[in-house]
Amino acid sequence: MSPVNNDPSNDAAEDRTRPLTRREIRARERFLETQNQEVLPPPVPVHFEPVAVPKPQPAFVPDYAPAAPEATTHAADLHDDGIHGDGNHGEAVRSQEDLQEHPDPAQPEVPLQPVDAVHPIDDTVQPEVEHYDVAHPDDVRHDTLHPDVVEHDAVHSYDVAHDDEFHDLQAHDEGYAHHDPQFDYGVHEEHGAHDLMAAATPAPKVPSKKVRRRRRLVALLLTLTVFVAAVAVGAQFLKPLLGMDKVSDYPGPGTGSVTITVAPGSGPKLVASNLQSQHVIADADSFVAAFTAAGGELSPGDFTFKTEMKNSDAVNVLLGKDSSKVMYFALSAGLRIGESLDAISKGSGIPLSELKALSDSPAQFGVPAQAKNLEGFLAPGEYRFPVGTSAKDILQKLVTATTDELKAQGVTDPAKQYQTITVASIVQAEGGQADYGNVAGAIYNRLKPGNTETNGLIQSDATVTYGLGTKTFHLTDAQKADKGNPYNTYANVGLPVGPIGSPGKTAIDAAAKPTANNYLYWVTINLDTKETKFSSTLAEHLKYVDQYNAWCAANAGRCV
């Protein structure tokens, strides 16, 4: 930089050696307090991007001895207010100016940066600027500012490049003027500063049509993706509500092994619900439809299934069509103990002798003590057991079904249980199913004390033939008069010594809760329909016996 002489007159240079008076110092301070507020230009309304402002640092003042007075400044790069004082300055002022205008060459000079941002000036905070007085006592108005002092303003930092292109950037307002006649003010234009700040703020770029079109396409694709995802999620929530995710049948054949017990009297819906809960079938309703279409009937027993079977395969298990994998047999209501054991042996492969030995020791199965064998306690029905099931387990299953039915009807006393089973076996053999209640009521009427009509005799043909070991509808008078037959209810008062067959659930219920009536006689007049006639007197009963004989004459070979 080239030095600039700030003292146009020699008198002013000479007066620098004169010390300042107290009045001059106060006048100088009042002037600086007024002028420092106008040092920096007001903010220029130029659009710019905000940048980080470095923390203000105090101005650096080198500590060295005063040099020879010189009148050079940095006015060539950054002008002060354009004021040229012509007063006399003291020696102290000259020394301080030398320190500011000629820093120590050994001290590194911090390069100034171009102005990137304009910040509003807070009037409450004054720049930290050294005050220098001019020699003239009354007309001193000039303040010498060093660019470095301005750079370390306590409020904001303004960096100015030391370049000829921007040397006329002003530090005060363009319109400011001081009218002191002793000073000449050179006001510089600020177009350079405006151009500098405008160049430092690039204009925002407008996206091209291609970019805007690409953005619209991406937005459309994102919208479609969100819509499709929302539809997919909504469908998953709606499927259970609409039954869309309901599987009606498994593909089969299934895996594993599941044992399902069908209790006596269970209906297809109950069994289907149990199968579905055990994951044997997929849907109970579709299974019931398949079972009904097959025309099968449920039978009590244990059945072995696989998990996730086809409906048709599960139906075959219940109908015994899968007999190669289970032990299957069927017991009809009214069968005698020998007939029942023979059917079990054939269906299970268990020797008949083994089954008979177990039946002749009934106490181990929990039947009443009066029982001599398991007669009357082997519940009728269809049964399926896993291959390898023991004979005792099979018989216990059938006995438990009968005792459970007695308990369900409120018959819990063992002696009462034995009596009920005996009556039920006679009801099963003597009457049609629709008349079981009335037959049971007539039997109990005959057993009542003081009965003078029959004198306590049940007079059942079925009991006599059981004792004889035969099955016939015709008995001789000798057979009816034989008291040696413990099952002969014509000759022996009261019930026979035990059941005469296996009663079904309906007969057991009728014996446990008979229909109240005043009948003493009954006769089945049609063996096909099991139509039964009831009467209270012997004369009326004989009329119904004639109807039975007429039916037998019309149906040769049936009444033997």
Q: 288 with 249: CB under 8 angstroms?
A: no
How far is residue 359's CA from residue 92's CA, in Å, rounded to a whole number? 140
Instruction: Provide the pLDDT for residue 279.
Output: 92
Give the end-to-end CA distance of the chain in Å, rounded to a whole number.
151
pLDDT for residue 238 is more than 90? no
Residue partners of 454: CB distance under 8 A and separation at least 6: 446, 520
Least confident of 292-296, 349-353, 413-417: 292-296
3-class secondary structure, 533: strand
Residue type, position 458, single letter: I
Least confident of 314-328, 355-369, 420-434: 314-328
pLDDT-derived band at 319, boundaries 50, 70, 90: confident
pLDDT for residue 556 is more than 80? yes
How far is residue 330's CA from residue 333's CA, in Å, rounded to a whole number? 10
Instruction: Provide the pLDDT for residue 476.
Output: 92
- Spatial CA neighbour of 113 closest among 51, 64, 71: 51
Instruction: Provide the pLDDT for residue 204.
Output: 60
How far is residue 143's CA from residue 141's CA, in Å, rounded to a whole number? 7
3-class secondary structure, 192: helix
Instruction: Provide the pLDDT for residue 50.
Output: 54
How far is residue 116's CA from residue 156's CA, in Å, rounded to a whole number? 12
Q: DSSP states of 210-247 as a string?
A: HHHHHHHHHHHHHHHHHHHHHHHHHHHHHHHHHTTT--
**Top-confidence range, 53-57, 65-69, 171-175, 261-265:** 261-265
Instruction: Provide the pLDDT for residue 436.
Output: 93
How far is residue 423's CA from residue 439's CA, in Å, rounded to a whole number? 10
Average pLDDT of span 158-184: 41
pLDDT for residue 465 is more than 80? yes
| CA geometry: angle 113, 118, 120, nearest 5 deg | 135
How far is residue 318's CA from residue 305's CA, in Å, rounded to a whole number? 9
pLDDT for residue 3 is more than 90? no
**Top-confidence range, 9-18, 74-83, 264-273, 401-410:** 401-410
Tokens 């040769």: give the residue. 556
Q: 559 with 474: CB under 8 angstroms?
A: yes
pLDDT-derived band at 44, boundaries 50, 70, 90: low
How far is residue 24's CA from residue 381's CA, in Å, rounded to a whole number? 134
Tokens 């409120």: give the residue. 410
Q: Is the pTM of this model over 0.85?
A: no
Tokens 């009968």: give the residue. 402
Q: 172 with 189: CB under 8 angstroms?
A: no
Mean pLDDT for the chain?
A: 74
CA 35: distance to chain centroid?
76
pLDDT for residue 121 is more than 70? no
Interval 72-92: pLDDT, tens: 444 334 344 433 444 444 444
Instruction: Provide the pLDDT for residue 15.
Output: 53
